[in-house]
Amino acid sequence: MGKEESPKTTRRTTRSSAVATPSKNVVEETNASSSQPPTLSDLVLGEERESFSLDDLLSSFPGRRNQIQELLQLLGPRNSPMLPIFVYGGTSTGKTSMVLETFRHLKRPFVYSSCLSCYNPRILFESVLNQLFLHRKNAVNGYSSAKRCESPSDFVNFLREALVSVLANLEGNSGKLSSKRSGKANGNMIYLIFDNLERVRGWEKGSTILPLLFNLYDILKMPEVALIFISSASPDTYYSSMGYVEPIPIYLPDYTQDDLQQIFLRNQANKKLYASFLSVVLRPFCRITRRVDELSPAFSLLFTKYCEPVTNLGVVPNKELNQRLFHYFRPHVAPSLNEIFKVSSHPSTEVEVRETKGKGSTRKFGDCEDDQLDFHMPTSAKYLLISAFLASRNPATLDASLFDSTGGSNSRKRRRKASEKSMEQKETAEQELLLNPGTFPMERLLAIFQCIASVGEGSLDEEEEGYDGLGIRNGNGGLMSDVLLQLSSLCSANFIVTGGSCPLEGSTRYRSTVSEDMVLKVARSIKFPLSKYIYR
């Protein structure tokens, strides 16, 4: 979750780096704390004598009550052994914040390492060991780590040594700690938290690091050590042939519209005025994204625009004021959606000339007459976008009949007149496909792409003639590399998203997120007969 979801500023230096502009006092305190040697209290999140009840924890995360209670149940009472936990969900669903705030409530010692900031195995290993050895990098030690660790075997040996030392200190100090000193460690368990685990798959040695992390529970065989993994990818994407204790999953779904309303209403000076603003913008924006980190900056700008007719921001809006603000602000919603979430680029001179020549001949296709796109897109990316839409929309069993050598138009048999019941079932199936498009593997996407690329009038030959970016000219290798590059760009622009993976196939599946109107525009721009390939 974003900044507004964190109830209080924490004391741990690993999390305080997110503060953008610290004050002079904060800088002085940080320098003073960095000069002091770390202690066991640095493994606990939260200030000393800080009361953070369960009700405060639950109210801090709207829509996450069930997940927090499930996490607390799996963690169990103090000093109770537990199996590994796997917390997963989409981006900006509050996974990291929920786990860390739960540990701040429990006052239990833990080690947190993010595979996003620790971008290779050595940095990840040394980050864990530095926290366990109570080592802080500074000018005195030349900003060096406690242990130089590059190989997995060295990491396991050093990790066992550090855990034994920390657990001995926790057990020795447990009798001396007072229950009133809430900033001290509560219990003799130590928890290892690995965040952004999906990043490890992109590492050069990620295929060996992931099995190592999942096998730590069996390798260490220490009941006082618990493992928690946080990832935006589902657990089935990490399945491998190596046997290990499967972590217990905790899934965080996307926020609902009511959850988002509770999140954005928090910390608002005039909740009723902001609630009237959310009643206008929240529903259309939720159709595009439900990520808090994307909605928060967008709403911040739009709320300023919404309040322009209001002279007093503390006013309590009535029905008449809400109607006046609605009529003033409604024309700004659609342009703001296009301005904030579109992926645009300036077209080249050749594309502008080509579009200028084609302005005179505008043909109707569907319900729209506008043949121009609001942004420039390479031809290969357009065919990929169409292929992804067809793969999500059409059943996979019809690919052979739709994408045959004749283009799928000459080999269709005459169909009998459908009954009313079959027509209703067909309409229901089409609505389900529109609301919940299906997923498809990359192999099917590339197969459809190769079939339709030779059908459209705007073929890829023009791009192939001048293509020598990889030193391959007029060859399938250069074209395929360009296709994969365009596929990566479409995924980054959220035109195509990952839809999990199949345990039987072992490969990632994708889903198209674009609407039919947009695909029709893309098809018209390259003169592709899309209507012949859509299953109706």
Orientation of helix 292-306 relative to helix 271-286, angle to 10°: 120
Q: What stretches in the chain show pLDDT beneath 70?
A: 1-35, 46-50, 173-184, 240-242, 339-375, 404-437, 454-481, 499-507, 536
Specify whether domain 40-252 bears CATH 1.10.1740.10: no
Q: What is the pTM of this model?
A: 0.59
- pLDDT for 458: 47
Model pLDDT, residue 156: 92
What confidence score (pLDDT) does residue 245 get?
Answer: 83
What's the confidence (pLDDT) of residue 419? Answer: 60
Q: What is the pLDDT of residue 98?
A: 93
pLDDT value of position 499: 66
Q: Residue 99: its pLDDT value, please?
A: 94
Can you tell me the distance from the alpha carbon of 386 to that of 384, in angstroms, rounded to the nearest whole number? 5
Starting at the edge strand that comes first in sequence, how are the strands of the sheet with 225-231 ordered? 110-114, 190-195, 225-231, 85-89, 248-252
- Per DSSP (E only), the strands in 75-224 are 85-89, 110-114, 190-195
User: Which amino acid is it at 200?
Assistant: V
Whole-angstrom distance, CA of residue 528 vs CA of residue 453: 9
Please identify which residue in the block is written with the tokens 């050598």.
405
Question: For 103-120, what is each residue's pLDDT tens digit?
Answer: 999 888 999 999 988 988
Residues 201 and 233: their CA atoms lie apart, in Å, by 11
pLDDT digits (tens, 9 = 90+) for 136-159: 888 887 778 888 888 899 899 999
Q: Which residues contact 321 (CB under 8 A, 6 or more apart)?
A: 310, 315
- Domains in the chain: boundaries: 40-252, 257-344, 379-533
- 110-114 and 190-195 as β-strands: parallel, antiparallel, unpaired? parallel
Q: What is the pLDDT of residue 259?
A: 92
Distances (CA, A) of 359 to 251, 370, 378: 50, 10, 19
pLDDT of residue 246: 86
Q: What is the dihedral of CA 2, 83, 115, 48, to 10 degrees?
A: 50
Residue 13 CA to chain centroid, in angstroms? 25
Would you mind telling me the total number of residues written for the chain in this entry? 536
Residue in the structure block whose two tokens are 């046997």: 243
